Chain A
């Protein structure tokens, strides 16, 4: 029913038939969002539980990574904690939102997110296995990978699940989205069962670690994590716009898209790969942060229309903004402690989304 509803929305519109020109609006929106992102990033670096004065933050920043301005603690706060954290937040938020938008276009389903192709369940299984079994059979791996055992396992777990699902869903060089969807559900159930068994084996402390991981957080951001995960996420952010025309066409149906000159199989393979890499990297460094991938694209679709050429970059910017703001709240509200960010993305975003739904009810095919 939902799919039918979405199909009823003409996703490729002849320009000038609607009130207001979408492309102009999209361009203005992109500029506005970009400026907002810049402001939010500066705010993110400037605020935190350690109340450093703006002048001091600027002095420490301008003195460079090895500069002498400020005390060692101030230096660590600005350069090692806030800066990587804000940048990681921007990348993770942008990746989650863009990947959500891409998946919704590819599956022609408004509820699609990267979880459909197994990333969340694979990453969760690998992460929980690392947490529970690090003292047991996974001890050699944990010793080898050190403090990166968990993010590395989550990334590889998500990627492995996606590749498996893709292989199952691809027959003689053609991927069936329905098959991928069903394989994803089956594999997700299997991974869920294995995760459940590991939960049964876990002790109280491990259980608590797992709960916090599944709520997500940027508290463990570091330059190493940022540099290790940034290439995958940047690749998705830069490559996604190339898929915009193809995604616009595929909304009409795969056969129609093919006749419009879209190389459908390439589109599927490429988008699934970049989504798997980017979401896997995002989940690895920040845990599972829900909500961003579903709500940000929908919000922007209501505002800017369904053309992926505007939607994808706007999703990236808005996702980055949402996550940085949520993270600022996460580290300030209960300072000196920290809230899991997954709580905040939903608390901040859901009411806004509901409000827009209420105001737009009945319009635009919803």
Chain B
């Protein structure tokens, strides 16, 4: 992007003239950084300094074994845990700092759709480094797209295609096992308990997609997004199974300890499934296994789970 400024801004010339003077006295440390800043554009064929913005992207890079090349991740990159523990954090993906990202001297920035603010994204795009925008989405198709695009960006196209194919195979196998089930379980997904009331998942949520993939029916499909239900409404939904997650929001409250939920079919049979929030809802490489585990908890006689702990 070229510069659209018609006139010099006020205060520019004084600032420009005083800059070398004041600056020279104040930052002897500045020269230290030259080495880091100088690397831009050096690697034409293979990107060695990747900034990964988006939890699923980071997960895919780690699954491809490319974690050595990541120089920083964003706040949503919570899996694997060592990503945020070992790499600098660029902040929340919708609140990026353009200079912060550029200060890492990356040669490739992978950005999930929805990264922002738009001005910061525009400036990162304009800085002359490779930027790939990766579509987000909560479906099997968009998951495969994500994997292919990320793998392609880090020159691992074949591995990405193979990983996407494996996902297809895994879901096809699960679908075959689920296809004979007539009596679908009615599922209420509770993201968190908000002061004794369930914050439940409606349509167009990752939870809704995961319930459908694992062969259940979302009892709250006439509501859009996550909504806090009154306890009475929750009782009226009469779910067969309540699915909840750990690691999202304040935990500790057992949904079945609420009388209104204990009175539902799920409450009477104690059908409460708790799974890790990111693994179940993250739509990354772990999604097929997580969905299979959920299916095996919904239909224990028909579907075998993976050996991993939920």
Q: Are B122 and A83 in contact (CB under 8 A)?
A: no
Is B118's beta carbon under 8 Å from chain A?
Answer: yes
Over the window 53-67 of chain A, the binary record of Cβ atoms lying under 8 Å from chain B Cβ atoms (1 yes, 0 no) is 111111001100110
Docked-complex contact A80 and B123, CB < 8 angstroms: yes
CB-defined contacts of B29 to chain A, threshold 8 Å: 51
A170 at the interface (CB under 8 A from B): no
Interface centre among A39, A51, A147, A227 (most CB of B within 10 A): A51
Whether the Cβ atoms of B117 and A53 lie closer than 8 Å is: no
A337: nearest residue on chain B (CB-CB)? Answer: B91
**In the complex, A309 has a CB within 8 A of chain B:** no
Number of A-B contacts (CB under 8 A): 191
For B249, the closest partner residue in chain A by CB is A204
Residues of A within 8 Å of B98, CB to CB, are 76, 81, 219
In the bound complex, residues from chain A placing their C-beta under 8 Å from that of B123 are 76, 80-81, 222
Indicate if the CB atoms of B99 and A331 lie closer than 8 Å. yes
* CB-defined contacts of A52 to chain B, threshold 8 Å: 30, 33, 37
Q: Are A336 and B88 in contact (CB under 8 A)?
A: yes
Are A53 and B27 in touch, CB under 8 angstroms?
A: yes
Q: Report the separation of the CA atoms of residues A343 and B37 in the bound assembly, to the nearest whole angstrom.
A: 30
A284: CB under 8 A from chain B?
A: no
Question: How many whole Å from B189's CB to the nearest CB in chain A?
Answer: 14
Contact B33 A71 (CB under 8 A): no
CA–CA, A58 to B19, complex, Å?
6
Contacts of A221 in B (CB 8 A): 119
Say yes or no: B128 contacts A336, CB within 8 Å.
no
How far is it, in angstroms, between the C-alpha of A225 and the C-alpha of B18 when the chains are bound? 26
Q: With A38-B18, A74-B37, A222-B119 as known contacts, state yes or no: A46 contacts B4, CB within 8 Å.
A: no
Contact B5 A337 (CB under 8 A): no
Which chain A residues border B9 with CB–CB below 8 Å? 83-84, 87, 226
Q: Is B102 an interface residue (CB 8 A)?
A: yes
A41 near B3 with CB under 8 A, answer no
Across-interface contacts of B225 in A (CB, < 8 A): 203
Q: How far is the CA of A204 from the CA of B94 in the complex (A)?
A: 12
Q: How far is the CA of A50 from the CA of B27 in the complex (A)?
A: 13
Query: Contact partner of B27 among A46, A209, A337, CB < 8 A?
Result: A46
Rounded to whole angstroms, the CA-CA distance of A342 and B41 in the bound complex is 36
Contacting residue for A56 out of B34, B91, B94, CB 8 A: B34
* A205 in the interface (beta carbon within 8 A): yes
Q: What is the bound-complex CA distance between A58 and B120, given in angstroms?
A: 23
Determine whether the beta carbon of B122 is less than 8 Å from that of A58. Answer: no
Which listed residue, A49, A58, A65, A226, touches B103 by the CB 8 Å rule? A49
A42-B23 contact given A73-B129, A205-B94, A212-B95, CB 8 Å threshold: yes
Complex contacts, A72 vs chain B, CB 8 Å: 40-41, 126-128
B 1-25 binary contact with A (CB < 8 Å = 1; else 0): 1111100011110111011101110
Most buried by B among A73, A80, A203: A73
Q: In the assembly, what is the distance between CA of A47 and CA of B30, in Å?
A: 9
**B120-137, CB under 8 A of A: which get 1 and which 0?**
101100111100000000
- Which chain A residues border B40 with CB–CB below 8 Å? 71-73
Interface centre among A74, A219, A221, by most B CB within 10 Å? A219
The reply to whether B97 and A337 contact each other, CB–CB distance below 8 Å, is: yes
Query: Quick one: closest B residue to A80, CB to CB?
Result: B123
Flag whether B32 is at the interface (Cβ < 8 A). Answer: yes
CA distance A259 to B35 in the complex (A): 69
Contact status B37-A51, CB under 8 Å: yes
| B119 in contact with A45 (CB, 8 Å) | no
Task: Verify B22–A46 contact, CB threshold 8 A.
Answer: yes
Q: Which residues of B are found within 8 Å of A334, using beta-carbon distances? A: 89, 91
Known: A76-B126, A338-B95. Contact between A54 and B119, CB under 8 A? Answer: no
| A82 with B11: CB separation less than 8 A | no
In the complex, what's the smallest C-beta–C-beta distance from A200 to chain B, in angstroms? Answer: 9
A42 contacts across to B, CB distance below 8 A: 15, 18-19, 22-23
With contact pairs A53-B30, A53-B31, A336-B101 given, residues A80 and B18 touching in the complex (Cβ less than 8 Å):
no
Query: Given the complex, which residues of B lie within 8 Å of A205, measured CB to CB?
Result: 94, 114
Instruction: Tell me how far the C-beta of B15 lies from the nearest C-beta in chain A, rounded to whole angstroms.
Output: 5
Q: Measured between alpha carbons, how far is A235 from B3 in the docked complex, in Å?
A: 25
Partner pick for A58 among B4, B10, B23, B95, CB 8 A cutoff? B23
Residues of B within 8 A of A (CB): 1-5, 9-12, 14-16, 18-20, 22-24, 26-27, 29-34, 36-38, 40-41, 72, 75, 88-92, 94-105, 114, 117-120, 122-123, 126-129, 225-226
Which residues on A are within 8 Å of B, measured CB to CB?
Answer: 38-39, 41-43, 45-58, 61-62, 65-66, 71-74, 76-77, 79-84, 87, 90, 147, 203-205, 208-209, 212, 217, 219-227, 331, 334-338
4 tightest Cβ-Cβ pairs between the two chains A and B: A54-B23, A337-B91, A51-B33, A72-B128
